[in-house]
Amino acid sequence: MELQVVEQIAEVRQAVNGARQRGSRIGFVPTMGALHSGHVSLMEEARRDCEFVVVSIFVNPTQFGPKEDLNKYPRPFENDVALCQGAGVSLIFHPQPVTIYPPGFKTRVEVTGLSSVWEGAFRPEHFCGVTTVVMKLLNIVQADVTYFGRKDFQQQLIIKQMCQDLDWPYAIQTCATIRDPDGLAKSSRNVYLSPSERQSGLSLSRALFHVRDQIQSGNRDVLQLQQAMRQILDGTPGVIVDYAAIINSDTLAAATEYQPALTAAIAVRVGATRLIDNIELP
Ligand code: PAF
């Protein structure tokens, strides 16, 4: 099937309705472009489940803080189209900001509580921008399954909560984090890193893998493990830690003792670049 690139909401609806009438299952991967193998793995997972896969490429201004990287966020559109083509995507939705936020737009979708901790504490308006645009995109595409990466752990949890609270009738699926061979989690922002910053960035996966390995070998001292994670990060030149915590994977509450469903989550700044990563603990 030939890849179609559209900018208008009505064109998405028409293409999706046509595919559904032909009996296809619809999969959807929302992105901000600057696609990498993490995104490709979401598209491939979508292709395994669905005959018709939609990818949105929209650098959503409302999820960037005033001092964040909206203007310099990479936009390699031609390369993105080629990656979508290679992954068997059927439709790219590439709207202009005015299509998503027309004059007079007044609505905010906010998931309280979960949005104000961890990432939310450092990026106050971020998740409200994410949930507002994701709710719009979900409504535009109305896919049977929509795919998000576990790399943005808090984001996928908040989106699932929003979908439950607002009776979204279709599935939301979270897919594994994809890493470079050296452990660095794939992120569109990795292109900002100089070679030495990239070396510093490896401390995130090193700290997370250390905690996972310790738990696997029987250490259940969550507070000590959190401290060990912090020491690895603090001991790495060029790394400034925003948080390094072991949290409950469902509530995001900081854990003080071992329990089922734990996630170790980290956010740091390396030079001007903010990096996040997390790992599900055994
Ligand atoms: O994860 C992202 O790339 C963005 O937050 C998303 C979900 C596409 C919303 O803009």
Q: What is the pLDDT of residues 256-265, one digit of tens each?
A: 999 999 999 9
User: pLDDT band at residue 1, thresholds of 50, 70 and 90?
Assistant: confident
- Residue 241 predicted with pLDDT over 80: yes
Pocket lining: 42 vs ligand 1, CB cutoff 6 Å: no
**Separation of 104 CA from ligand 1 center, angstroms?**
23
Judgement on whether residues 149 and 15 belong to the same structural domain of the protein? yes
Tell me which of 175, 203, 235 is where a domain ends. Answer: 175
Residue 261 lies in a domain: yes
Residue 177 is classified by DSSP as P
Tell me which of 151, 175, 199 is where a domain ends. Answer: 175
What pLDDT, on a 0 to 100 scale, did the predictor assign at position 93?
A: 99
Pocket lining: 130 vs ligand 1, CB cutoff 6 Å: yes
Buried b (16+ CB within 10 A) or exposed e, 95-119: beeeebbeeeeeeebebeebbebbb
What pLDDT, on a 0 to 100 scale, did the predictor assign at position 102?
A: 98
Judgement on whether residues 217 and 256 belong to the same structural domain of the protein? yes
User: What pTM value is reported for the model?
Assistant: 0.98
What pLDDT, on a 0 to 100 scale, did the predictor assign at position 244?
A: 98
What pLDDT, on a 0 to 100 scale, did the predictor assign at position 198?
A: 98
Atom 5 (ligand 1): residue with closest C-alpha? Answer: 130
Distance between CA 192 and CA 85 in Å, rounded?
A: 26
Q: Residue 260: is it exposed, middle or buried by C-beta count within 10 angstroms (0-12/13-18/19+)?
A: exposed
**Separation of 35 CA from ligand 1 center, angstroms?**
12
54, 57, 133: residue to mutate for ligand 1 pocket, most atoms within 8 A of CB: 133
Judgement on whether residues 255 and 227 belong to the same structural domain of the protein? yes
User: pLDDT band at residue 201, thresholds of 50, 70 and 90?
Assistant: very high
Q: What's the domain count of the chain?
A: 2
Q: What is the pLDDT of residues 60-110, one digit of tens each?
A: 999 999 999 999 999 999 999 999 999 999 999 999 999 999 999 999 999
What pLDDT, on a 0 to 100 scale, did the predictor assign at position 238?
A: 97
Q: What is the pLDDT of residues 209-234, one digit of tens each?
A: 999 999 999 999 999 999 999 999 99
Judgement on whether residues 136 and 63 belong to the same structural domain of the protein? yes
**Separation of 106 CA from ligand 1 center, angstroms?**
20
Residue 183 lies in a domain: no
- If you average pLDDT over every residue of the chain, what do you get? 98
> Average pLDDT for residues 162-191, to the nearest whole number?
98
Q: How many CB atoms lie within 10 A of CB 256?
A: 10
- Residue 54 predicted with pLDDT over 80: yes
User: pLDDT band at residue 29, thresholds of 50, 70 and 90?
Assistant: very high
Domain that residue 119 falls in: 4-175
Q: Which two tokens stand for residue 8?
A: 């208008």
Distance between CA 262 and CA 76 in Å, rounded?
A: 36
Atom 3 (ligand 1): residue with closest C-alpha? Answer: 31
Helices 77-86 and 37-49: crossing angle in degrees, nearest 10, is 40
Residue 182 lies in a domain: no
- Residue 148 predicted with pLDDT over 80: yes
What pLDDT, on a 0 to 100 scale, did the predictor assign at position 218?
A: 97
Judgement on whether residues 139 and 198 belong to the same structural domain of the protein? no
Q: What is the pLDDT of residues 168-181, one digit of tens each?
A: 999 999 999 999 99
Judgement on whether residues 47 and 129 belong to the same structural domain of the protein? yes
Judgement on whether residues 266 and 148 belong to the same structural domain of the protein? no
Judgement on whether residues 171 and 193 belong to the same structural domain of the protein? no
Judgement on whether residues 153 and 269 belong to the same structural domain of the protein? no
Q: Which two tokens stand for residue 147?
A: 């795919």
What CATH number does the domain containing 143 carry? 3.40.50.620
Pocket lining: 34 vs ligand 1, CB cutoff 6 Å: no
What CATH number does the domain containing 261 carry? 3.30.1300.10
Active site residue 39: yes
Whole-angstrom Cα Rg for the chain: 19
